[in-house]
Amino acid sequence: MTVAGRGAGARADQRADPAELLAAYRRGDFFLSTAERSILARGADTVLDGDDIDGLDTRLSQALTGAAHPVAVGVLPFATGATGATGAAGGEPGEERAVARFVLPRELWTAEPAHGAAAQRATRGVPVPAEVTPFPAPEGHRAAVQRALAALDESDLRKVVLARALDISFTAEVDPACLLHNLVRDNTGGYTYAVELPRAAAGSPGPPGQRSLVGASPELLVRRSGTLVSAHPHAGSAPRSSDADVDRRNAEALLGSAKDHAEHAMVTEAVVAALRPLCRRIDVPPEPSLMSTSTMWHLGTAITGELRDEGISALRLAAALHPTPAVCGTPTPAARLLVGELEPFERDYYAGAVGWVDTTGDGEWAVAIRCAQVAERSLRLYSGGGIVAGSDPDAELAETSAKFQTLLRAMGLDLNL
Ligand SMILES: C=C(O[C@H]1C=CC=C(C(=O)O)[C@@H]1O)C(=O)O
């Protein structure tokens, strides 16, 4: 693979072999494989971070003018804007909050999707964990779902997405490249990604040092290509099964579930409400479709539209949509507050977004779910599910366990937690 570096005759868009691109990924790089392409970005000519996405968008378009490559890659946290997940301005004094981070890379390659190439290769070994700790414990998640159901009953809240985490520690270093390789191999569709996160500050919870977010998400937050805008919200879930009959029955039950359709409709409505004022035309299929990953069935709605104003970048579109009720709830402010109250951890970049934007404003942002935050010798996996009237605490717990399988399989772990 030829290296594109500044001063080394770099072209803006170096095409590479997808297998080589995946094999070249190392901790600290940005990698994203979609159904259309793979992107690998390395090094940083410029790093921009902060809370105010619109302000960052302006700074990015200035920085991109004359940059080595016409693309910025980045990550958005779950809680963007001036308020954190709890809704309290700025969070607690001295508390480190996750902020959006963009990199104008020194080196950039694109290739065909990497999934096919990875399927030809063996899985890569991930060390055996020393300890696996669900956070909260299963009982705690059931109790949180019960409290969410009470809130749905007593207030105008219609949906809230509650997540739990799995903390996994190792005695040896975990290489995010192995996880990424296995995720690309196992997930032939969707968005498989690895992105460097800002270093945890000394004194903040969790291990200090380099951290990456690695995952395989089925969900497109937004893509912009010229005036064409697309979003593909997913909500409503059932587990896949290795038994073909059970697998088919799970899919049929999901397609026939009024509760899952209601849970899904709230996401589609919110996405359409955010996009409609920005579009001269918007197309929304009347019914969601059945979508699949290697571990889950979902309901998904592919929404497309034509923008009125090409001046609105993919990043601004992402900010207008995020967080959708697929990861937060309806109405958003009440759901955000409840997430902060009921989840015993900060989401940081889980349920945020990973993607890119270029000089023309085109770009693509995936919802950062089915992921793990990877430090040197520890991982935190995240998994959440939408709670609506009629949700059952045991079924919700089982749904988060099933969603953990995306990462657990990539680690070669047969665990049901
Ligand atoms: C919040 C997650 O999934 C979302 C995406 C698809 C289906 C979902 C659900 O059925 O609850 C969630 O909205 C997650 O995987 O952590």
pLDDT of residue 254: 98
pLDDT at residue number 83: 46
Pick 80 or 104 by higher pLDDT. 104
pLDDT for the residue 9: 33
Superfamily for domain range 14-410:
Anthranilate synthase (3.60.120.10)
Q: Cβ(126)–Cβ(179) under 8 Å?
A: yes
By most ligand atoms within 8 Å of CB, the mutation choice from 261, 263, 369 for ligand 1 is: 369
**Please, which pLDDT band fits residue 119 given cuts at 50, 70 and 90?**
confident
66 Cα: distance to centroid of ligand 1 (angstroms): 39
Taking the centre of ligand 1 as the mean of its atom positions, its distance from the CA of residue 386, in whole angstroms, is 6
| DSSP calls for 237-256 | EEE--SSHHHHHHHHHHHHT
Closest CA to 21 of 6, 9, 34: 34
Residue 259 has what DSSP assignment? H
- Parallel, antiparallel, or unpaired for β 107-111 and 14-15? parallel
Ligand 1 atom 13 nearest Cα: 326
Non-local CB neighbours of 195 within 8 Å, separated by 6+ positions:
30, 31, 32, 73, 74, 75, 212, 213, 349, 354
Residue percentage of the chain with pLDDT more than 70: 91
Q: Where would I find the beta strands (DSSP E) of 256-319?
A: 279-283, 289-292, 296-300, 303-307
Instruction: Assign 125 a pLDDT band (cuts: 50, 70, 90).
Output: confident
Q: Does residue 316 line the site of ligand 1, with CB under 6 A?
A: no
Q: 236 alpha carbon to ligand 1 midpoint, in Å?
A: 7
Residue nearest to atom 14 of ligand 1 (CA): 384
Would you say the ipTM is above 0.90? yes
Distance 234 CA to ligand 1 centre (A): 7
Closest Cα to atom 2 of ligand 1: 384
Q: Which backbone phi and psi does 241 adopt, to 5 degrees?
A: -135, 150
Residue 172's pLDDT is what?
Answer: 93
Give the alpha-carbon dihedral of 333, 337, 338, 342, to 10 degrees: 150
Q: What is the mean pLDDT of residues 378-399?
A: 97
List, edge to edge, every strand of the sheet that includes 228-232.
46-50, 100-104, 71-76, 353-358, 363-367, 220-225, 228-232, 303-307, 279-283
Rounded distance, CA 357 to CA 319, Å? 13
Residue boundaries of the structural domains of the chain: 14-410
* Active-site annotation, residues: 159, 219
Per-residue pLDDT reduced to its tens digit, 252-298: 999 999 999 999 999 999 999 999 999 999 999 999 999 999 999 99
What distance in angstroms lies between residue 43's CA and the mean position of ligand 1's atoms?
32
Amino acid 207: pLDDT: 60
Which of 403, 404, 405, 406 to probe ligand 1 with, by most ligand atoms within 8 A of CB? 403
Least-confidence region, from 33-47, 112-126, 367-381: 112-126
The more confidently predicted of residues 7 and 41 is 41
Sort strands 209-217 and 371-374 into parallel, antiparallel or unpaired.
Answer: antiparallel
Question: Residue 93 above 50 pLDDT?
Answer: no
pLDDT at residue 29, as a whole number = 97
Q: What is the signed CA dihedral for 87, 298, 168, 354, rounded to 10 degrees?
A: -60
Q: Which of 160, 161, 301 to mutate to test the pocket of ligand 1 (most atoms within 8 A of CB)?
A: 161
Calpha distance 386→235 (Å, rounded):
7
The C-alpha atoms of residue 411 and residue 31 are separated, in whole angstroms, by 18
* Cβ of residue 298 lying under 6 Å from some atom of ligand 1: yes
pLDDT band with cut points at 50, 70 and 90 for residue 6: very low
> With a 6 A CB cut-off, is 236 part of the ligand 1 pocket?
yes
Q: Is the pLDDT of residue 79 over 90?
A: yes
Asked if the bond preceding 136 is cis, omega within 30° of 0, the reply is: yes
* pTM recorded for the entire structure: 0.93
Give the Å distance between the CA of 240 and the centre of ligand 1.
14
CB of 396 shorter than 6 A to ligand 1: no
**Three-state secondary structure readout of 59-117:** HHHHHHCCCCCCEEEEEECCCCCCECCCCCECCCCCCCCCCEEEEECCEEEEECCCHHH
- pLDDT tens profile 47-59: 999 989 999 999 9
What pLDDT shows up at residue 114?
Answer: 86
Nearest C-alpha neighbor of 179 from the set 387, 380, 417, 402: 380
Q: Any idea what DSSP says for residue 45?
A: S
Burial class (CB in 10 A: 0-12, 13-18, 19+), 241: middle
pLDDT value of position 366 = 98
Mean pLDDT of 141-170: 97
Q: Are 343 and 144 in contact (CB under 8 A)?
A: yes
